[in-house]
Amino acid sequence: MPLVLAHVLPQEQRGARSQLKGRSVLDFVQTIFGIFLIAHGLVHAILAAAPRPDIPDAKPLTFWTRQSKLLPGVGESITRPVAMVLWVVSTLLFVAAGLGVLGVPGLRDIWSGLTAAGAITSLLLLLLFWHRWLIVGLLIDLGLLLLIVVFNWTPVN
């Protein structure tokens, strides 16, 4: 509100305008956060479709399915299905959480649990099939857990 109008408008209207402006900011933050969660989930699916960047001539759908350094001796016949379940579950949890933040009925009340479960599933996936490119995802997942579990932060009113 322009400074000049602040002195002309009655106190009630100034307060209502201030609340409306504050509400718009909260709506904006909520929308951005919901979109961010959906995008973070979709990145899991995109990486699943990608070839391994450190293997020459790697085929698509091999990013998550190589030998796990945390599970030495376990063959690809086991690691491939484990990887596929983890990336599908991570993707679905983050997309559902984002939709919940955006206000979808049935998901709105459980978005924080979905986000925490998605972050834990994603961390398990990242740690089992580590690649240096995944540091950003690791930091995002840890940040989400910190915000939601430790600080009990919520953008949803």
Q: What does the pLDDT look like over 26-64, one tens digit per residue? A: 888 899 999 999 999 999 988 887 777 766 777 766 666
**Per-residue pLDDT tens for 16-28?**
444 555 568 888 8
Q: What is the pTM of this model?
A: 0.79
Whether pLDDT at 132 is above 50: yes
d(C-alpha 65, C-alpha 75), whole Å: 10
Mean pLDDT in residue range 113-129? 94
Q: Which residue has the tokens 């904006």?
A: 28
Extract the tokens encoding 103. Answer: 């206000």
- Phi/psi region, residue 70 (left: phi>0; alpha: psi -120 to 50; beta: rest), is alpha
Query: Percentage of the chain with pLDDT > 90?
Result: 43
Query: Percentage of the chain with pLDDT > 70?
Result: 76
Burial of 8 (0-12, 13-18, 19+ CB in 10 A): exposed
